[in-house]
Amino acid sequence: TAWMLVSTVLVTLMVIPGLALFYGGMVRSKNMLSVLMQTFVIFSLMAVLWAVYGYSLAFTGGGAFFGGLSKAFLLGITPESIAATFSKGVYIPEYTFVAFQLTFAAITPALIIGAFAERMKFSAVLVFMVLWFTFAYLPMAHMVWYWDGPDAITDAAALETVLGNAGWLWAKGALDFAGGTVVHINAGIAGLVACIMLGKRIGYGKEALTPHSLTMTMIGASLLWVGWYGFNAGSNLEANGYAALALINTTIATGAATLTWMAAEWLGKGKPSMLGAASGAVAGLVAITPACGFVGPIGAIVIGLL
């Protein structure tokens, strides 16, 4: 429980201020405040929506694609309520699980804004985020992560029941330790489609759109890296050897990705850059996330290099 509370704080650190500074440093100075505001308010908005209906739709039974509304407004959850982990007989307070998953639900929509930074009205961003959270994040979280827990599996017949109640992709055997599908691919596709729909930035290719503060971007990337230990090792839900495996994999893969990106840039452009190193680090963090509890450290190096 103590580890999960710490992990929840670490993932919050990834968004505010980590992601805000990472993205903010990459835009022009006149748009820095816009990016900070979007990140800050999206985190706040998603926190409220998670309590109102998000947690219930993602993490209760009811269907293969959506849960139900039995825990809307966190109804029926008390300090005594418990949530399953990955080991039989091991539980954490349900509020701890709700709070931890809240941070994932808050960072995922915020990740998208980097794709359309400087190009969308604030009001439109907020409307889009509410719709995307409801119809893209929640079903994906339910499909990949929802199941009844290990104690529900007692024999072959019970396993069939658990598979029948579980999210669609979980039942098919999808392995996503900490959010490669739910968070990164999900937000990545949304960002790609959003920036195509909006079109190029005004002045793109004609005037310099250089990052105004790579110092800020480096600070943001570093906070993301530190917070990511909560993201990856926290997703184990227990403080044990598998959490340690996820933690060391997160460090090694990210180091390997930083070096690869830097080397590619050095060879291709004649000199490395801070933006390249930070980009490599974040790419490595993303790449190892779904596999961090399933591969060994050498596998993590390979994933980071790739």
| Per-residue pLDDT, 207 | 86
Rounded mean pLDDT of 47-52? 98
User: Please, how many CA atoms are within 13 Å of residue 24, restricted to the half-sphere of its CB?
Assistant: 20
Neighbours of 1 (CB within 10 A): 12
99 residue type, one letter: A
Reported as a single tens digit per residue, the pLDDT across 239-262 is 999 999 999 999 999 999 999 999
What is the spatial distance between Cα 306 and Cα 303, in angstroms, rounded to a whole number?
5
Residues with Cβ within 8 Å of 182's Cβ and at least 6 positions away in sequence, in order, are 104, 108, 137, 140, 141, 144, 145, 176
| Per-residue pLDDT, 201 | 85
Instruction: Output phi, psi for 201, to 5 deg.
Output: -65, 145
| Per-residue pLDDT, 200 | 87
pLDDT band at 303 (very low <50, low <70, confident <90, very high): very high
Q: What secondary structure letter does DSSP report for 291?
A: G
Residues with Cβ within 8 Å of 233's Cβ and at least 6 positions away in sequence, in order, are 7, 243, 244, 246, 247, 250, 292
Reported as a single tens digit per residue, the pLDDT across 72-123 is 999 999 999 999 999 999 999 999 999 999 999 999 999 999 999 999 999 9
Whole-model pTM: value is 0.96
